[in-house]
Amino acid sequence: MQSQELKKYKIPEKPGVYFFLKGKDILYIGKATSLKDRTKSYFGKDLINTRGPLILDMVFKADGLKWQETDTVLEALILEANLIKKHLPYYNTKEKDDKSFNYVCITRPKLRMVGGQAPDEMPKVLIIRGRNLEQKNYSKVFGPFPNGGQLKEALRLIRKIFPFLDEKSRIKGTHEFYKQIKLVPEQKEILFQNIKNIKLLFEGKKKSILKNLEKEMKVYAKAHAFEKAGEIKRQIFALQHISDVALIKEDKIINTNSQHFRIEAYDIAHMSGQNMVGVMVVLENGEIAKNEYRKFIIKGFTSSNDVGALAEVLTRRFKHTEWQMPDLIVVDGSTAQLNVANKILKKYKLNIPISAVVKDDRHKAKMILNADPKLKKDILLANSEAHRFAITYYRQKSRKNMLK
């Protein structure tokens, strides 16, 4: 598909979901804050560096474009996940499986005996990686969601409208704090009603939620339960005026790749090859972007091999073609790490510069290989943050394994 062909489509500047087609087959599904701006971005000269070779191949093969508008970016995110699950487009799922995606899972209420009584264990809303889905039997699973950071932001937004319990809610202090800031419902029946509405929202049935809420509000008002009626009125207003500013901001950051500078730094941590882990940290325009951090459990090595572990991490990272491409890669090490990183990028036909931070005996940076002097400060910050994050993750994994 050529850029001039885009002109024949009257694409709106509204949020929604778009479909790249080949004939009647859906090649790729994506979401957008502005459908017009997003689809236009696929025809930039730097597409291979900003989106990667897989998406470049998709655009080359596509011969048609369709879209579906939504009221908000939040609804576009939910619709995208539902449609990917339904159609399994080749370029959304190639070189990945369900284990790589994020899912929203609703836990089942359980009965357990405590002191001769059987209290209900309340349902929770969790974000679960695909690889962990089979560990529990959930009442409802929604997804896949390609971007974990955006999904977390979406749930924060939803929780302000329909308070729910999450994994942290079992912690006494956290639970009480959440109650104070109204992120946990006061009453059991409200929680179950909120869970019902959250399920409907993730099924794309916002209109049904509004219809049900309006009926409930009238019932409460008729019974002079004005406080409850007022809370439902707040929920109705919030649903009709969803303020997804944070989602819009993050969506623009992720998808206006040539307009900002992204650094990805990698590090490996272990003790004599035991509990080996790798991490990726991200700086965007010189600022730490923690929602973009990633953790990797090293699977291919059981003894000390930092270079081999780095190769594994980079290989797994660049299979995620839905992740934004970096403008610079920073590795911890010297020529060996630099060479293996170049080898992986060559494999994926990516032209991304790589810098290596060489350390002294005290693990302090003594030189940077292949670095732009103007980026020295950002490179050192990214490298330091990667080291901190890797050590933290290694210690967490080690403690967890000791308790097994």
CATH of the domain at 75: 3.40.1440.10
Does residue 220 lie within any of the structural domains?
Answer: no
- pTM above the 0.85 mark? no
Domain containing 178 equals: 98-205
Structural domain tally of the chain?
3
Sheet strand arrangement including 125-129: 125-129, 102-106, 140-145
CA 302/CA 38 separation, integer angstroms: 43
Residue with tokens 């950071």: 149
Cα→Cα distances 227→158, 164, 230, 234, Å: 21, 19, 5, 11
CATH of the domain at 385: 3.30.420.340
Among candidate residues 93, 108, 136, the one where a domain is terminated: 93
pLDDT tens over the chain, length 404 residues: 888 888 888 999 999 999 999 999 999 999 999 999 999 988 877 676 666 778 888 999 999 999 999 999 999 999 999 999 999 999 887 745 555 678 999 998 765 544 444 345 789 999 998 877 876 779 999 998 887 778 888 999 999 999 999 888 766 666 666 666 677 777 888 889 999 999 999 999 999 999 999 999 999 999 999 988 999 999 999 898 887 766 665 565 555 447 468 899 999 998 877 889 999 999 987 888 887 899 999 988 777 889 999 999 999 999 887 788 899 999 999 999 999 999 999 998 888 999 999 998 888 899 999 988 889 999 999 999 999 999 999 998 888 777 66
Residues 167 and 47 both lie in one domain: no
Residues 76 and 106 both lie in one domain: no
Question: Taken in order 132, 137, 143, 144, is the CA torsion positive or negative?
Answer: positive
